[in-house]
Amino acid sequence: TPHINTRTTDVTLEIKMTYGIEMVMPGDNTEMEIELIYPVALEENLRFAIREGGRTVGSGVFTEVTS
């Protein structure tokens, strides 16, 4: 199960890929929508890492935060 890590937060998430993309390979850039399993205070331009199975599988920056 993927988790998102920010400064002090580690939360399970669901990833919704956009534009019909099913998979992203190393070096690719993409936009995606993520949904956290519970509400967490986040802000735009906050950096994050996506971890799965104890490994970092992606990283990024929040460009838009919705409720």
Which of 7 and 49 is assigned the larger pLDDT? 49
What domain range is 14 assigned to? Answer: 3-61
For residue 14, is it within any domain? yes
For residue 44, is it within any domain? yes
Give the total number of structural domains in the chain: 1
* Structure tokens that stand for 66 in this block: 């919705």
* Structure tokens that stand for 48 in this block: 């994050």
For residue 37, is it within any domain? yes
* Structure tokens that stand for 23 in this block: 């998979």
Predicted TM-score (pTM) of the model is: 0.83
For residue 67, is it within any domain? no
For residue 66, is it within any domain? no
Supply the CATH number for residue 32's domain: 2.40.30.10
Strands (E), the chain: 3-5, 10-17, 32-36, 47-52, 55-61
pLDDT in tens, 10-63: 999 999 888 788 888 989 999 999 999 999 989 999 999 999 999 999 999 999
DSSP 3-state of 62: coil
